[in-house]
Amino acid sequence: MSVAKRSFDFFLYSNIFISLCAFSITVETYCLIHAPVNWMYVAFVFFSTLVFYDVPSLFFAKETFSENESERLHWILQNKRSLTGLLIFGSLCLAVTVFFFPLKFVFKFLPVASIAFAYYVPQTRLRKIMGLKAGIVALVWVCVTCVYPAMIISGYDPAIFRSRQNEMLFLQNFLFLFPLCIIYNVRDIEADRKAQVQTFPGTFGIKKTIAICITLLLAFSVLVFFSSAETSVKSALLISAAASAALIFFASESRHDYYYSFWVDGMILLQAAMVCLAGLFR
């Protein structure tokens, strides 16, 4: 195995890449609401994502990953020491960032954290409920990367949920992330059938699932088009939606895990980079 592939596998399978995606889309939120970036919160998001994704990798790997992720599972089983070290490092950094937030933030964050952990614990059986497998992941991502930044900026004022602008932003984020989560179920379709997990592809078939995902991205695009965002930002969001739709259109259960874990997840990073870059020219 080449050094490049070993390095890439570590970057991807240790969950550093997905943590970077969470980091970037949180920065995007600050750009969209025209607020200074709270870098301590962004660091909190990075390390909390790293911890939340590394825990199931270490403790529930065989229950969490499908047959199409055999390469990832093999890597995890072969690199448990590295993953453990990264989990400890991430947990320590996460603990440090938490000290910079008031206690009320911790209490407000606990419900989302509990749902995220419960999703990966096999005994909760949350993954077996139709729609929840993708829905919970998308909802947690929206809360962590979009709702909480707005909440912190407002001084934890519940009025943010009565703001039409914020409501549209939260919905917009969900409509972008939800289809990216759903399409993962195409990769896992056989494993989910064996585990009796009800997913969109298992229930409606792959073609209809792809159609559902593209419809959600079209709804996202409509919201963006009629939003009050600058033209350059709208263009960035619409291009990211088109790129995501193209990847989803060609999704299949035979695709390598890289297709989903790098390219599909990479749409989050692409959107954030384009939006932040567009913000420089508004």
Instruction: Answer whether 265's CB lies under 8 Å from 21's CB.
Output: yes
Give the domain range for residue 145: 3-279
CA distance 124 to 101: 30
Asked if 243 and 270 count as a contact pair (C-beta separation under 8 A), the reply is yes
In the predicted model, what is the mean pLDDT of residues 143-170? Answer: 85
Q: Kindly report, residue by residue over 11-32, the tens digit of the pLDDT.
A: 999 999 999 999 999 999 999 9
> Closest Cα to residue 191, out of 181, 201, 180?
201
Q: What angle do CA 218, 221, 226 make, to 5 degrees?
A: 130
For residues 121 and 128, give the distance between their C-alpha atoms in angstroms, rounded to a whole number: 12
Listed residue (7, 18, 50) closest to 265, CA to CA: 18
Model confidence pLDDT, tens digit, residues 219-276: 999 999 988 888 899 999 999 999 999 999 999 888 888 999 999 999 999 999 999 9
Which residue's entry shows tokens 């952990």?
117
Question: pLDDT tens for residues 167-211?
Answer: 899 999 999 999 999 998 888 776 666 666 677 887 888 899 999
- How far apart are the C-alpha atoms of 172 and 222, rounded to whole Å? 9
pLDDT tier, 163 (very low <50, low <70, confident <90, very high otherwise):
confident
- Tally of structural domains, the chain: 1
